[in-house]
Amino acid sequence: MRSKFLACAAVLAATSTPALAEPLDPQKIGEGVTLDPIVDARLRLETNDQSNFPDTATSITVHTRLGAELKASGFSLIAEGEFTRALEDDFNDTIPGNGFEPFPVIADPDTSELNRLSIGYATKNFSATVGRQRIIHEDARFIGNVIWRQNEQTFDAVRAIGKLGPVEIDQTYAIGQRTIFGSKSPNEEFEGDFLFTKAAAVFDPVRIVAFRYAYDYDTRVAFSSQTYGATVSATIPAGKAKIGLKGSYAKQRDTGRNPTDFGADYFLAEGSVTFSGFTLRAQYEELGSDGGRSAFQTPLATAHAFNGYADLFLITPATGLRDSNVRLSKKFEIQGLPSGLTVQATYHEFDSDFGGLDYGTEFDGVVSFKIGDVGLLAKYGNYQTQGFGPDTTRFTLQAEFSF
């Protein structure tokens, strides 16, 4: 294991040298016509150590996205491919047929696929996009692109966004969820009818967002649901400090082909204080349960960003989830230190919404910074079970370059 870490560290160091070319600017190829190259490369070492497996999973993967965006007179055309390859594959990549897997899951299988292909039109107060596209709503708690994994989640959809004064309306109809599991997986895509509606308004310093999400899957029917909710947030100056407040509520019910009749609530309460580069945040999030039969689910979210980096709660247990957590982060702007150096630590206590169960606790840590055009990151998540799931430790070391 030590040799694998040292080998990956050497490659990361090589990718962070200043010999890399500067990012390309959009190229003018005609009167009012530009071509903007899209290049994203990420090298990652990840380990997953779970107490219910005899061996620790270790992956070293290389991800690339290559494409271009053509723009002319408000119109745009994006074409982008996505490619992931494993240099070290001692892990369960979720693809069936690979033989016996004595390792935990690291969901970064090899893939070669069309990530985005869309046509768009935009003016100052209106935009529309048709085709395979990236869709992220707010902080990606309900709709996101799962950007943490090597393979991105995108949607086959029609999307329109309009602005009128302080109000923005965002409406999407999608027929396919292109998942992170890649081109070799039977779960590469989930088809169905998906409606995403979001309305946001800003009345400084308050931001209000109302939303409705309806998922009617053709095959993944247990996740067919409709969700209504709203989020209110504010950032309030307080001398040299800033106070952040956020609250959210949503109601989820079954819909479409879902065989279970259920209703579950979602709550979020959050407060933060930022001073001298430090941010202290306290948060309570609840994904409710309907009597232990079904729970509030977020199948299109970037779920890794919430409820712990060990990824024990990507799918909400039937008894629901209550996550009480506190986070301290610091962004350093000191001459001689790497650009954008940020250190973050989070502590979680996980409990059930139904049945009074103690699930476990988790400590998470992140260090990130840039050297030249290369972003470097180390991430750690340690979950200690008190009755739900195995003890789990995940560690990630990565380098990324994009333009």
Task: Give CA separation, 188 vs 152, 178, 272, 331, 376, in Å.
Answer: 11, 6, 38, 38, 29
Compute CA 263 distance to the chain's CA centroid, rounded to the nearest angstrom.
25
- Classify the C-alpha dihedral 88-93-95-98 as positive or negative: positive
How many other C-beta atoms can be found within 10 angstroms of the C-beta atom of residue 363?
17
Per DSSP, the three-state class of 384 is: strand
Give per-10-residue mean pLDDT for the chain (403 aa). Answer: 48 38 69 92 98 96 97 96 95 82 92 97 97 98 97 98 96 98 95 98 96 97 97 96 98 96 98 96 98 97 98 98 98 82 97 97 97 94 97 98 83
Phi, psi of 237 (to 5 degrees): -65, 140
The number of helix segments (H) and strand segments (E) in the chain equals: 1, 21
How confident is the model at residue 397, as a pLDDT?
98
d(Cα 8, Cα 368) in Å, to the nearest integer?
Answer: 17
Cis peptide preceding 37, ω within 30 of 0: no
d(Cα 250, Cα 267) in Å, to the nearest integer?
Answer: 7
Cβ atoms of 120 and 132 closer than 8 Å:
no
How confident is the model at residue 4, as a pLDDT?
53
How confident is the model at residue 136, as a pLDDT?
98
Compute CA 347 distance to the chain's CA centroid, rounded to the nearest angstrom.
19
- Residue ranges of the domains in the chain? 2-402
Phi, psi of 131 (to 5 degrees): 125, -165
Cis peptide preceding 96, ω within 30 of 0: no
H helix intervals, 66-165: none
How confident is the model at residue 30, as a pLDDT?
84
H or E stretch covering 4? helix 2-15
H or E stretch covering 8? helix 2-15
What kind of fold does domain 2-402 have according to CATH?
Porin (2.40.160)
pTM: 0.91
Q: What DSSP designation does 92 have?
A: B
Per DSSP, the three-state class of 275 is: strand
How confident is the model at residue 302, as a pLDDT?
97
Burial of 324 (0-12, 13-18, 19+ CB in 10 A): middle
How confident is the model at residue 18, as a pLDDT?
33
How confident is the model at residue 167, as a pLDDT?
97
How confident is the model at residue 15, as a pLDDT?
38
